């Protein structure tokens, strides 16, 4: 189905009012043609909005705002207004930009210190009756701290 063959909203309303039934093939054909013309239509907007909802607000960028605004405009066939979802996203992105967010996505090397591992083991032992189970988070932290310390000191004999 080409752009010229797509029925207008008014044509679809008139046909429905007159009792014309649209087959699943008709709906699929119209949706496919519309999707090709609009770059995804409402489904694209919903998908982008769902993906954006998974991000922490401090990580919303101007590019995210631009993409959601474009998708919202295509989905509703009009420019988003001042109270639109994309306007709210743009506001968050503007705030983040003013604050210098999002933070660098690569914080560099992340490590566990012996003190942090010891504190975790103490807390875990308190909740497990004095025993720190093998493979627990505190045990894993202690292992990571031991390996880090060994690497700093040049010792390579520690095993997992």
Indicate whether 76 belongs to any domain.
yes
Same domain, 97 and 53: yes
Do 11 and 20 meet the contact criterion of CB atoms below 8 Å apart?
no
Same domain, 91 and 45: yes
Q: Considering Cα of 145, then 149, then 154, then 157, what sign does the dihedral take?
A: negative
CA distance 10 to 37: 18
pTM of the model: 0.44
Check whether 157 has a pLDDT greater than 60.
no
Cα atoms in the Cβ-side hemisphere of radius 13 Å centred on 57: 8
Do 41 and 35 meet the contact criterion of CB atoms below 8 Å apart?
yes
Check whether 78 has a pLDDT greater than 50.
yes
Same domain, 58 and 95: yes
Indicate whether 108 belongs to any domain.
no
What pLDDT digit, counting tens, does each position of 125-141 carry? 888 888 888 888 888 88
Same domain, 89 and 131: no
Give residue 64's domain range.
41-102
Count of domains in the chain?
Answer: 3
Same domain, 68 and 98: yes
Same domain, 49 and 92: yes
Indicate whether 107 belongs to any domain.
no
DSSP-based three-state secondary structure for 56: coil
Indicate whether 160 belongs to any domain.
no
Same domain, 30 and 67: no
Same domain, 96 and 132: no
Indicate whether 87 belongs to any domain.
yes
Report pLDDT for 86. Answer: 93
Indicate whether 159 belongs to any domain.
no
Report pLDDT for 43. Answer: 59
As separate numbers, helices (DSSP H) first and strands (DSSP E) second, the chain gives 7, 0
Same domain, 63 and 77: yes
Do 6 and 35 meet the contact criterion of CB atoms below 8 Å apart?
no
Indicate whether 109 belongs to any domain.
no
What's the alpha-carbon Rg for the chain, to the nearest Å? 28
What pLDDT digit, counting tens, does each position of 22-55 carry? 888 888 887 777 767 655 555 578 888 888 988 8
Same domain, 88 and 120: no
């Amino acid at each position: 189905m080409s752009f010229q063959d797509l029925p207008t909203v008014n044509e679809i309303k008139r046909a429905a009012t007159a009792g014309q039934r649209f087959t699943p093939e008709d709906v699929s054909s119209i949706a496919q043609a519309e999707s090709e013309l609009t770059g995804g239509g409402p489904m694209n907007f919903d998908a982008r909005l769902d993906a954006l909802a998974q991000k922490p607000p401090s990580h919303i960028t101007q590019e995210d705002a631009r993409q959601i605004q474009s998708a919202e405009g295509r989905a509703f066939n009009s420019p988003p207004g001042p109270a639109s979802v994309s306007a709210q996203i743009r506001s968050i992105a503007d705030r983040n930009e003013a604050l210098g967010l999002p933070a660098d996505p690569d914080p560099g090397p992340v490590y566990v210190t012996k003190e942090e591992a010891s504190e975790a083991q103490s807390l875990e032992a308190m909740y497990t009756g004095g025993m720190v189970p093998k493979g627990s988070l505190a045990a894993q932290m202690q292992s990571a701290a031991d390996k880090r310390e060994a690497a700093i000191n040049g010792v390579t004999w520690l095993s997992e």
